[in-house]
Chain A
Amino acid sequence: NAGVMQNPRHLVRRRGQEARLRCSPMKGHSHVYWYRQLPEEGLKFMVYLQKENIIDESGMPKERFSAEFPKEGPSILRIQQVVRGDSAAYFCASSPSLAGDQETQYFGPGTRLLVL
């Protein structure tokens, strides 16, 4: 059973460009979470999605950031008009939809975004 997949693993963008980060959850998982880790800091929650629904986006910046988890395909975190402060590691996690193990989130390897 493959783990959570994220791509790309490293992404370099110039200021003003768009960044698209992809996350494929573990097989059978229908809950996806995005977290951001700034250098030397802990992970900060951004958004929680289920298929075709945003459940909690309380950690998402109000502008330039958006996320989706379509019926088919991976979850996408999109950052428009990137700025240097967006440089960070972005982690995706997934959890099962079955009760009992829903509490445990399994993380992907992360995408390191560098904005020049």
Chain B
Amino acid sequence: AQTVTQSQPEMSVQEAETVTLSCTYDTSESDYYLFWYKQPPSRQMILVIRQEAYKQQNATENRFSVNFQKAAKSFSLKISDSQLGDAAMYFCAYRSLWQNTDKLIFGTGTRLQVFP
């Protein structure tokens, strides 16, 4: 069974600085999807970025980018030019491509604090 691990329960960053959130996963599959979701205090789950495992190029969405290391099964999220609105829980998630299910497997989350 696949697992997702986020080893940093909490992280903090100064406004305008860069922070990297870690995520590792375990799978025997070769093709899958990886996601980062943000959960602000409102508790709404917001998609931040997604990566297809068959793509070597790292995904980028404005200030958010990933470092996808397939061999190491690592999928870290980099937030550049951090803003106060980036403060939230961040969840890494895995989805199998081949199993007959679309379920997401989530990590336990990293709480990001942004200081002015």
Contacts and interface: CB of A to CB of B under 8 A. Distances in A.
Nearest to B89: A42
Nearest to A59: B103
Interface string B31-49: 0010101000011111100
Most buried by A among B42, B50, B91, B101: B101
A41 B9 CA distance: 11
A89 B43 contact: yes
Given A48-B102, A48-B103, A106 B43 contact: no
Contacts of B43: 89, 109-110, 112
28 contacts: A33-B102, A33-B104, A41-B108, A41-B109, A42-B91, A42-B106, A42-B108, A42-B109, A43-B104, A44-B106, A45-B105, A48-B101, A48-B102, A48-B103, A56-B100, A58-B101, A58-B103, A59-B103, A89-B43, A91-B45, A93-B45, A104-B35, A105-B104, A107-B44, A107-B47, A110-B43, A110-B44, A112-B43
A88 B43 CA distance: 12
Nearest to A47: B103
B49 to A, nearest CB: 11
Most buried by A among B52, B100, B106: B106
Contacts of A42: 91, 106-109
Interface in B66-116: 91, 95, 100-109
A89 B89 CA distance: 15
A92 B98 CA distance: 22
A56 B100 CA distance: 8
- Category for how many chain B residues contact A: 20 to 34
B45 A107 contact: yes
A116 interface: no
A104 B47 contact: yes
Given A89-B43, A106-B47, A56 B103 contact: yes
Interface string A78-109: 00000000000101010100000011111101
Given A42-B109, A104-B50, A109 B42 contact: yes
A55 interface: yes
